[in-house]
C-alpha cells in the first residue's frame, strides 16, 4: 500500500527536497496534496510532475494558478482550497497518511496542529510551531496518536541516537531518561562565525543568506547567521525529547558533518553523521522505522579529515542566550521570542534594521513583555504572538529605517 502524502510548503526548500525523495520512490508514496504561498508557477510545475488531487494556495493567487495551468497545459486541474482553511483541510484530510509540515514561521502553526490533531504521521520541519505551542502540540499528539517525527537535521540526528523506546516512554518530568545524560546540539556557526562584532555590524542580507554548508529558505538562513536558529532548536529539543534546557549543550561544529549527539551515563557519546543534505533526515522521517535510499553522497571520512568543535560565543550571538532564557522562563516567553524574531528578520531582509539589531529588538520585546502560562490554550499563545509583533513593529518605527 502506498502512503499518501501532503506537503505544506511544497514550493520551499524543504518542500523541494521532499519532492525529490517522492520522485525517487513512486512505488511507496503518492503525493495527494500540496500548498504554496508565493511561487505559483512552481506550484503548477509540481502539479505537472506529480498530479496531486488537491492544492492549497492564497485566494488572491487562484486566478494566476488557473492561467498558468492553462498555459502550461496541465491536463487535470486539482481541487483548489484557499487560505488558512485550505491548509488545515489538507493537513487533516482523511485521504492523507503523512503530512510534511514545511511552512516557515508562525504561519504554519494552525495546519501543523491540525495534522497532529488528525493523528497523522507528521514530519516536523516547521520548528516555529513547536516553539510557540510545544506543550499543546505534544499533548494533542498523545490524544490523537499522531507520530511527530523530527525533520530538523539536529533533532533527527538525536532521534536516531536515542534508544528506540525513548519516544514512547517520554515522560514530562524533563529529566533525561533511559541512561541518557545530555544532548549535544551541533551548530555550524553560520556565515559570521569568524567575524568580529565590528564586522557583523555592517553585514548585508545577501551575506547573511549565504550559508557555508546548507542551502535553505531566507528566514532560516538569517536565523542561522544570528544563531537564533540554534536557540529555536534548543527549545524544539526540550519539547520533542521532554528534557530541560539544562541538559542540552550547543556545540559549534563548522563542518556540519555530525548533525548532533546523545551522551549516556556510561560514558558513551553517539553521533549521527552525513553530508549536509536535508534529504537524509526527510527520508529517515518518511520511512522510519525502515530506511529508504536517497541521492545524498555517502560520507567520505578521508575527504572530510577533520572535525572541529568549540563553544558558542554568546557575546557575538546573544540570540542563543535569549532563547535559552525564554525556555527557562517557559509559558508564553518562547512564543514572544519567536514572534519578535520573525518581525526582526523580515525587517532586516528589507534593510530596515541592521543585522545586530535583530537580537537587540528581540531582547527589547522580551523585556517589555509579561510572561504567562499558556494553560494549554492556543488563544493565549496567539494573543502573546500578536502582542509581541506589535511591540516589535513599534521598535522598528522608533529605531529602524522607515
- Main-chain dihedrals φ then ψ at residue 5, nearest 5 degrees: -115, 140
**Rounded Cα gap, residues 341 and 232, in angstroms:** 10
Q: Which uninterrupted H or E stretch holds 373?
A: none
- Give, rounded to a whole angstrom, the gap between the first and last alpha carbons of the chain: 56
Could you say which of 12, 134, 190, 231 contacts ligand NAD (CB under 6 A)?
12
Q: Is 221 among the annotated ligand-binding positions? A: no
Residue 128, interface with ligand NAD (CB under 6 A)?
yes
95 carries a ligand binding annotation: no
- 345 binds ligand NAD per the rule CB under 6 A: no
**278/195 Cα distance (integer angstroms):** 27
* 352-371 binders of Mg ion (CB under 5 A): none
The yes or no reply on residue 152 touching Mg ion (CB under 5 A) is yes
Return the one option of Mg ion, ligand NAD, none that residue 150 interacts with (CB less than 5 to 8 A, by type).
none
Q: How many residues bind Mg ion (CB under 5 A)?
A: 3
Contact 367, 325 (CB under 8 A): no
Would you say 329 is a known binding-site residue?
no
C-alpha cell at 53: 488531487
140/154 with CB nearer Mg ion: 154
Strands (E) in 146-179, as ranges, are 147-150
Q: How far is the CB of 27 from ligand NAD (least distance, A)?
A: 26
Q: Which residue among 21, 30, 31, 36 contacts ligand NAD (CB under 6 A)?
A: 36
Residue 5 binds ligand NAD (CB under 6 A): no
Residue 299's SS3 state is coil
- Compute φ and ψ for 222, nearest 5 degrees: -65, -40
Q: Binding to ligand NAD (CB under 6 A): which residues in 13-32?
A: 13-15
Is residue 223 at the binding interface for Mg ion, with CB under 5 A as the rule? no
Give the C-alpha separation, 52 to 29, whole Å.
Answer: 12
Interface residue with ligand NAD among 104, 250, 365, 388 (CB under 6 A) is: 104
The only residue of 119, 163, 205, 217 in contact with ligand NAD, by rule CB under 6 A? 217
**What radius of gyration, in Å, describes the C-alpha atoms of the chain?**
20
How far, in Å, CA of 228 to CA of 234, rounded?
10
- Determine whether the annotation assigns residue 128 to a binding site: yes
154 known member of a binding site: yes
| Annotated binding-site residue? 224 | yes
Q: Which residues bind ligand NAD (CB under 6 A)?
A: 9-15, 36-38, 102-104, 107, 125-128, 152, 214, 216-220, 278
Amino acid at each position: 500500500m502506498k502512503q499518501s502524502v501532503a506537503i505544506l510548503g511544497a514550493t520551499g526548500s524543504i518542500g523541494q527536497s521532499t519532492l525529490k525523495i517522492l520522485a525517487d520512490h513512486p512505488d511507496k508514496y503518492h503525493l495527494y496534496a500540496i500548498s504554496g504561498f508565493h511561487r505559483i508557477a512552481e506550484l503548477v510545475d509540481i502539479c505537472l510532475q506529480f498530479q496531486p488531487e488537491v492544492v492549497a494556495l492564497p485566494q488572491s493567487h487562484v486566478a494566476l494558478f488557473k492561467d498558468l495551468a492553462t498555459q502550461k497545459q496541465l491536463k487535470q486541474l486539482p481541487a483548489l482550497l484557499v487560505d488558512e482553511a485550505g491548509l488545515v483541510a489538507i493537513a487533516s484530510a482523511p485521504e492523507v497518511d503523512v503530512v510534511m509540515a514545511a511552512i516557515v514561521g508562525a504561519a504554519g502553526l494552525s495546519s501543523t496542529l491540525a495534522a497532529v490533531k488528525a493523528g497523522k504521521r507528521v514530519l516536523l520541519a516547521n520548528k516555529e510551531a513547536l516553539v510557540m505551542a510545544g506543550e499543546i502540540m505534544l499533548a494533542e499528539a498523545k490524544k490523537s496518536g499522531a507520530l511527530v517525527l523530527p525533520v530538523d537535521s539536529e533533532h533527527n540526528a538525536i532521534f536516531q541516537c536515542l534508544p528506540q523506546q525513548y519516544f514512547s516512554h517520554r515522560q514530562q518530568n524533563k529529566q533525561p531518561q533511559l541512561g541518557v545524560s545530555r544532548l549535544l546540539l551541533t551548530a555550524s556557526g553560520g556565515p559570521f562565525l569568524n567575524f568580529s562584532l565590528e564586522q557583523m555590524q555592517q553585514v548585508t542580507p545577501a551575506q547573511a543568506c549565504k550559508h557555508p554548508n546548507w542551502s535553505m529558505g531566507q528566514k532560516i538562513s538569517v536565523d542561522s547567521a544570528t544563531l537564533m536558529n540554534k536557540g529555536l532548536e534548543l527549545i524544539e529539543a526540550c519539547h520533542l525529547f521532554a528534557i530541560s534546557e539544562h541538559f542540552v549543550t550547543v556545540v559549534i561544529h563548522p563542518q556540519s558533518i555530525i548533525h548532533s549527539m546523545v551522551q549516556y551515563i556510561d560514558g558513551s557519546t553517539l553521533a549521527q553523521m552525513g553530508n549536509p543534505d536535508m534529504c537524509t533526515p526527510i527520508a529517515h522521517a518518511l520511512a522510519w522505522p525502515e530506511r529508504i535510499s536517497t541521492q545524498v553522497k555517502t560520507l567520505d571520512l578521508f575527504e572530510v579529515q577533520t572535525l572541529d568543535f568549540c563553544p558558542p560565543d554568546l557575546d557575538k550571538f546573544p540570540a542563543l542566550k535569549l532563547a535559552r532564557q525564554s525556555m527557562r522562563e517557559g509559558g508564553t516567553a518562547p512564543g514572544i521570542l519567536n514572534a519578535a524574531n520573525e518581525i526582526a528578520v523580515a525587517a532586516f531582509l528589507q534593510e530596515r534594521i541592521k543585522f545586530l539589531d535583530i537580537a537587540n529588538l528581540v531582547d527589547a520585546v522580551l523585556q517589555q513583555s509579561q510572561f504567562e502560562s499558556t494553560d494549554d490554550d492556543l488563544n493565549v499563545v496567539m494573543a502573546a504572538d500578536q502582542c509581541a509583533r506589535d511591540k516589535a513593529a513599534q521598535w522598528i518605527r522608533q529605531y529602524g529605517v522607515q
